[in-house]
A and B are shown apart, each in its own frame.
Chain A
Amino acid sequence: MSRELVPEMHDMLKLTKYKHDFSDFPTDRFKGLIPKTETWEGVIGHHLKEGFPAFPTTPSTFLLKIADSLASSFSRNKLKKSAKGVEEDYAEEDPADKHTVNTLWCSKEGEDKRLEKESPQIRALLEFYNSDPGAEEFFAKYDNILRTRAEDAHKGMNVTSLFTHCRLTGKFYRILQKNFAVEPKEIGTTIDAVGRILGDKTYSQWQLSIANCRFRFHQKPVRAKDLNIFLQLEETVGKIRCDFADNVLFSTPEELIFIYAKEEDLDRVLKMAADNGLWLELRVARRLLGQLSPDVSRLDKIGQNFYGVTDEQIEPPICEICQMRQGTKEWKEGEGPIEYLCPTCYDIRDKRAPLTKLRYWIDEGGEGLSLLWVKIKLDYDLLNRVLNKFYVDYLKGLGLSTTEATTRFSIISEFQEGYDAFLRDFSKRINNGFGGENVQRVLGDFYCIKAESTKDILEVLKIYKELLEGHFSKFLTLSIDSPLTLSIVLSPSKFPFFQCWRVIEDSEPDIHIALVGHGEITIKNKNLRELLLASETRYRKTALHKLAEVSRLSEALARLRFEDKSRDEDSQTYRQLRERLLPLGMGFRDILTFARILED
């Protein structure tokens, strides 16, 4: 007996060089191998177009057709050629079609790995489908083709991979299957009839909700144990991703894009957050299927904050960590003072502390120990805007223009793959660069490094620049804010962490560097290369040292000295700094901080 339709496997012919509509597929030659499975019904019957071997006639194929559309790069709208103003049906082939994926954020195009017509692998593919496999077997076997083959090869549409499209189709299919009913007799027996049902029922009546959930915490971690809040955050988000695997369409360590049909699904997410001492910045919108968009900020302009239950009044003592609940439990370590904590913060502090390296450094480290906190943040709202800009630029570059070019779920999901790979590489490079024993992972995008000198900041910047070049090269040339922000905070180990966290939370894009007590620098990605080049110049150490020392007494005096145009050697150093750094938009305070970084 056939297994249920596997929606992820619906675009079989896209793995080959045959046409997607089967028009050149030698069906007769493979007659004995044509599967008789529900999945195969989906392969041949998920389009509503003349020329395909079949069209949706069952609830499964009907839902697959809708899921396929929701998961595509385009809403199958028509592109207009800017030159002639002539509308073109997207299905028509064009010699300029590209079957490989153009990655919008780095203009990389992969290799065409599709199976050749007439090759033995076509037979093998059919035999594989005949074996009625599941989705994970499919992805494991054809991963290399899926990741390089564009979901849609038409000119201007090759911006997401078949891999992403298939994954997303599976998610949407199961969400629809769980929440919407369609009777076989409703579906109709002609293409026109099915089209009418789609228009009158599904796209006119069916609604889904989308929520952008940003997880936050009130806790102001003081002791190393309080950093368990990050563990709590990661576990909570991880559990939601697991329990709602199909509903989560995008995620970072602190944020989710969540699609759902029933309010109780979101209620469960909110409860999980509240039970774990977290609060949420929420944006929620409910729309008809055809109106859903991953850019939730356009659908819900300001959102709401979800805190769970909060009292209007709290009798002292208030919890010293979160300052949102009464501190009913006492915490005392050795001869230290009694701290009053609420039960949630007490439990967080009482957990097994996984940040063992950090605890060791703080407990054993001397007065001279410094820590480098490195955090990468992704601004989801800005990401949507930037991806849309890249996409419009791509279309214009091809001589195409469209007023309906918008970022759809597939592009966001494609970016997710790239972002996860970027974070994995960042982790590897940081650990290799500084030694695993000197790196403490806090979250997938947040690290603490045992710093040897201020110049370790430059090492982190070099790694970041190289990874941006490899993964998101277009972010290096953006004239607007980057959706990625890198925050680096260097602080003495005894300095309270929550103050560093405050700096990180308030960091402006694109790159923010803070030397606690000694200044800050903010620069754009596009100036990172020049900043690193400027750091490689040999400056007179004494000149840098003098500038730093004078600034500790009087910043005004330091500025006068810095701008002095005398011909002595120190002034030459300052001239070099002015020439290299002022064009990057850095002010005197930024340059002073830069000098302090180099001084060490």
Chain B
Amino acid sequence: MAFIEYQLTSQVLCMGERIKAGIFRPCARTIRYSQITGALRKKLGLPDLHAVGYLVKDDDYNIVDHFIYSPRDRASDISKVPLQVEYLTNVDGRVYVVENESAKALPEEFTITMGALLSKGFGLCNMKKLRLLEDRHEEMRIVGESRDFELKVRIPEKYKDIFNIKKIFKEVYGFLFEPDEEQPYTGHYVRSLFEGSVVIGPKILLKERPRHG
């Protein structure tokens, strides 16, 4: 199998999670399968794309910030309770698209919009192809037999085979939203493997489990 590795950059990005108590919207600290796959499929009209990603660890990138705005009720055009929104600036991430016929059609460089507050100028992302990772590459080596590796991405459990996750030793569960293919504004939540799940899989999607210093 192969992944097409893209660098994702953005000036401001709000990968919003669910609004809490109507007053706060946190931002995910990872590029979720549902979000990036949905954005790619929408941009290119290709329904069988699968992608995951993560944000690079660098103090100068992916900086969390907040702002407050008052969303308006669409019906009455009256401001609702102010909403504090978390977002990321100077975003730098990596996205891995499973190579298939649809994925081969992806350009070397393109833009997508992703996340929340698009009308406010958030979410414009540049995607730049870095390389094609194939089985011969060290990064694609299957690791984790010794239970020393954990996921650094989030993958719906039912798609683990697509991403070549061979075995799960310890699950860290959560739920990701999966839009309905025919009615994308609806959907359901699917059980997913979150960061920290101890698995056997491609090294590029994993990181070594922390050891004590």
* A positions within 8 Å CB-CB of B: 220, 222-223, 301-305, 307, 310-316, 318, 320, 323-324, 336-337, 339, 379, 381-382, 385, 480-481, 496, 498-499, 509, 517, 589
Contact = CB atoms under 8 A, between A and B. Distances in A.
B191 A313 contact: yes
27 contacts: A220-B20, A222-B23, A222-B24, A301-B147, A302-B147, A302-B169, A303-B170, A307-B173, A312-B157, A312-B190, A312-B191, A316-B186, A316-B188, A318-B175, A318-B189, A320-B21, A323-B174, A336-B81, A337-B81, A339-B22, A480-B212, A481-B213, A496-B24, A496-B26, A498-B20, A517-B66, A589-B59
A304 B190 contact: no
Interchain residue pairs A-B with the least CB separation, the first 6: A337-B22, A314-B189, A222-B20, A222-B21, A302-B147, A496-B24
A339 B26 contact: no
Nearest to B191: A312
A381 B212 contact: yes
Contact of A379 (B59, B81, B212): B212
A305 B191 contact: no
Contacts of B186: 316
Contact of B191 (A302, A310, A496, A509): A310
B182 to A, nearest CB: 16
Contacts of B118: none
Contacts of B212: 379, 381-382, 385, 480-481
B190 A336 contact: no
A552 to B, nearest CB: 11
A307 B172 CA distance: 9
A302 B21 contact: no
Interface of B: 18-24, 26, 59, 66, 81, 84, 86, 147, 157-158, 169-175, 186-191, 198, 209, 212-213
A304 B198 CA distance: 9
Given A301-B147, A480-B212, A314 B22 contact: no
A303 B186 CA distance: 37
B152 to A, nearest CB: 14
Contacts of B213: 480-481, 509
A324 B169 contact: no
Contact of B171 (A305, A316, A379, A499): A305
Contacts of A323: 18, 174-175
B189 A313 contact: yes
Nearest to B190: A313
A470 B124 CA distance: 55
A481 B212 CA distance: 7
Contacts of A302: 147, 169-170, 198, 209
Given A220-B20, A316-B189, A323-B174, 9 more contacts: A222-B23, A311-B191, A314-B189, A315-B188, A320-B19, A496-B20, A496-B24, A496-B26, A499-B86
Contacts of A499: 24, 26, 86
Nearest to A318: B189
Given A312-B157, A480-B213, A305 B172 contact: yes
A337 B191 CA distance: 27
Contacts of B158: 312
A114 B189 CA distance: 66
Given A310-B191, A379-B212, A480-B213, A320 B175 contact: no
Nearest to B213: A481
Contact of B21 (A312, A316, A318, A336): A336
B22 A336 contact: yes
A62 to B, nearest CB: 40
A316 B20 CA distance: 16
B175 A223 contact: no
A312 B173 CA distance: 10
Given A481-B212, A517-B66, A313 B188 contact: yes
A350 to B, nearest CB: 15
- Residue among B23, B84, B190, B212 having the largest count of chain A Cβ atoms under 10 Å: B212
A379 B210 CA distance: 13
- Residue among B18, B66, B147 having the largest count of chain A Cβ atoms under 10 Å: B18
Contacts of A310: 173, 191
Nearest to A483: B212
Contacts of B171: 305
Given A305-B170, A305-B171, A480-B213, A320 B188 contact: no
A531 to B, nearest CB: 20
A453 B174 CA distance: 38
A480 B18 CA distance: 39
Contacts of B18: 318, 320, 323
B206 to A, nearest CB: 14
Contacts of B169: 302, 304
B186 to A, nearest CB: 8
Nearest to A312: B191
Contacts of B198: 302
Contacts of B189: 313-316, 318
A222 B17 CA distance: 14
Contact of A324 (B170, B174, B188): B174
Contacts of B170: 302-305
A509 B212 CA distance: 10
A336 B22 CA distance: 7
A313 B23 CA distance: 27
Contacts of A301: 147
Contacts of A307: 173
Contacts of B84: 496
A318 B192 CA distance: 14
Contacts of B19: 320
Contacts of A316: 186-189
B147 A320 contact: no
Contact of B20 (A314, A315, A320): A320
Contacts of B22: 336-337, 339
A329 to B, nearest CB: 15
A517 B86 CA distance: 11
Contacts of A382: 212
Contacts of A339: 21-22
A117 to B, nearest CB: 48
Contact of A223 (B21, B86, B174): B21
Nearest to B171: A305
Contacts of B157: 312
Nearest to A218: B174
Nearest to B189: A314
A381 B213 CA distance: 12
Contacts of A496: 20-21, 23-24, 26, 84
